[in-house]
Chains A and B, each alone.
Chain A
Amino acid sequence: MSRLVSSLLWLGVALLGAGALGAIALGRGEPVNGVFFVVGAGCTYLVAYRFYSAFLAAKVLSLDATRATPAERLDDGRDFVPTNRWVVLGHHFAAIAGPGPLVGPTLAAQFGYLPGTLWLVAGAVLGGCVQDFVILFFSLRRDGRSLGQIARDEVGRRAGLLTMVSVLAIMVILLAVIALVFVNALKDSPWGAFTIAATIPIAMLMGLYMRFWRAGRVMEVSAIGFALILAAVVAGQWVSRSPEWAPVFTLTGTALAAAVIVYGFAASALPVWLLLAPRDYLSAFIKVGVVLALGAGIVLVRPTIQMPALTRFVDGTGPVFAGTVFPFCFITIACGAISGFHALISSGTTPKLLTRESDARLVGYGSMLMESFVGVMAMVAACALEPGVYFGINSPAGIVGATAEQAAATISGWGFPLDPTTMHQLAQSVGEETLLNRTGGAPSLAVGMAHIFSRSLGGERLLGIWYHFAIMFEALFILTVLDAGTRVGRFMVQELMGRAFPRMARTGTWTSTLVTSGIIVGAWGYFLYQGVLDPLGGINSLWPLFGISNQILASVALVVATTILIKMGRRRYVWVTLVPTAWLVVVTLTGSWQKMFHEDPRIGFLAQARTLEQQIGDGRVPEAKVADTRRLVFNNRLDAAVTGFFALLILALLVEAAVEWYRIAAGRKSAPLTESPYVRTKWVEGSP
């Protein structure tokens, strides 16, 4: 293709994308179609990949296609395996895409569709993709070392320790908040609870099949598992209508929380082949399949966006969670725009699979673009709902009331008309008793997805099946993250405790396994329990805490990347990592400060604790609820302390790194890199 044709083509793509984003951003009063989101985001991703990632690859990182990767040099067919780049892209995408890019944008839709969509696209292109790409590249140059090891080697021992502590802390908060999303999606829902309960014996059956009968036959056992899960989704409808079985699977929030805590402990302590691995295989297939189906459904159905571009809740009075659009939109949407957790995946399995250094661009930058696209689709699905319905589902009873009539009156008063019968009919059409006050984002996303799917296939009569299929899809990979995260957390606790008590470091012993599983499950279980008891729905306090911790981990990764760029002599290009770092530090520190000290009790943890204490002191709390209220006071103070701890973590790392940068810049310290030595690849272009 001639240079002129290529230039004209890319100009066309850029103009198309700019036009679509312009229509989204500037259109007022006219309904916007969901296709504009797909086109606007898609064209931006194409241009960013073609030009910005090429600039990063050529100028900033200088990817060297002649340099042998760890997969080539250390090829053992087990950990290090040269793999086709499209296969690695699929691996990496399946690893980074979890519930975050679906739930975060759904919650942030309370500000209107515009802030979240722009942040998803700009945040990914300039921040998230850059982080994933550079960390993958730096790990690739260091034999696939982890982020913590790279931080220790390149910045200092304290930085390595800070990174490890922040990883453990984020793990606890992450597991608590996704477990809360799970609980809120399934409480008082016999159909959903039955379907998810059925996935446990199905996964165990798959595990036994692969362990004893057909070792490692992932494809055939996943096909069997998928068929059984579809049967469970359909059977769930019968269970929900059965007078004998429906009460058995109608569980309260606290009962479900207890069940999830017991399940997490079992999944961590049981052999990995029995439950964790088979569920993970199944979840990966369903995740990729549903994401592709959702994309196709949006293009086919072309849903009209009902939510306005901006709502009144940008002022911080939102019912879904409290806080102004800055900084809370940027904290609420972490995965999908920039997520620190990705740095752990980019410095984990992926660098051990890449055949060529040049593949890091497609895998690192490209897969994050795909995750961002998932976030945009979730935003479309949420904003295609009537705003009144969206707020009815996502607002806690403490704010809108517990009955359809109270909620309809409150939400209509905000300017989003809602008829009480609409909520009744919607709940009936998806086979639920009620959809009111189902905070956490998962149910409203499932309603949005069910509408898109049912308009593509099956019509209104299959709405209930599609809704519960979507709930199953979300719950399935929440449980996968819960299983895998608890297990990794257990190993981290074993490693930390092993320094003081060497016997605890033995991962094969039952005592160590049970004690450390109990510690990690107890930690996230406590935060989950406090979220379930929270009269504001729990999401209001836990999701921002999760967002802050995740963005702080991203700041850690970017600070480490900046240090390495300086050491590589690329000072003129440090802005590629420094600009997103500066943005994240401002966002997370502002968010942390507000969550601790804001005078509005819905935003500030300490203000909430003071308000509750005052209510006890004034005798406004009934005697029977005093103990619970005191617990809420303690929980709010604990949340404030955790938030402060996260803020101190990033400040400490920034100081540590800034001193390092100054010493190198002033010539007071040599700046040796810990890269593996150059070895020329044995493969010529085009193979293997």
Chain B
Amino acid sequence: MTVRALLCVFWRHLREWSGDAAYETYVTRARGGELLGRQAFYLDSLSRRYRHPTRCC
């Protein structure tokens, strides 16, 4: 694997980890129904995430 390819993999994983790629993942994987727009998806994902413990002590 070349350095460039390694960096690409790292970048892709970093975007997944940070949540930057969440909307693209959603568009790829969503099943049926009407797709949410980027902004609506962002707000929806936040309201779902912060209903449960997400950060520990």
Contact = CB atoms under 8 A, between A and B. Distances in A.
A273 B56 contact: no
Interface in B1-49: 13-20, 22-23, 25-31, 38-39, 41-49
Contacts of A487: 50
Nearest to A284: B18
Is chain A's binding surface mostly helix, strand, loop or mixed?
helix
B56 A96 contact: yes
A84 interface: yes
Given A272-B47, A481-B55, A84 B13 contact: yes
A219 B14 contact: yes
Looking at chain B's contact residues, the main secondary structure is helix
A484 B42 CA distance: 17
Interface string A271-290: 01100110011001100000
Interface residues of B, number: 36
Interface residues of A, number: 58
A219 B49 contact: no
Contact of A78 (B18, B26, B55): B26
A242 B29 CA distance: 55
Contacts of A210: 42
A477 B54 CA distance: 12
A98 B18 contact: no
A243 interface: no
B46 A272 contact: yes
Nearest to A88: B17
A345 B56 contact: yes
Given A77-B28, A91-B17, A98 B55 contact: yes
A210 B56 CA distance: 25
Interface stretch (A21-29, A233-241, A334-342, A647-655): A334-342
Contact of B56 (A276, A284, A342, A491): A342
A285 B17 CA distance: 10
Interface string A453-495: 0000000000000000000000001001100110110010000
B53 A341 contact: yes
Interface in A563-589: none
Q: Which of A84, A167, A218 has the most CB of B within 10 A?
A: A218
11 contacts: A76-B29, A78-B44, A78-B48, A81-B29, A91-B17, A98-B57, A211-B42, A215-B23, A218-B18, A218-B19, A488-B50
Closest A-B pairs by Cβ, 9 of them: A77-B29, A77-B26, A216-B42, A100-B57, A215-B39, A344-B53, A218-B20, A215-B42, A90-B17
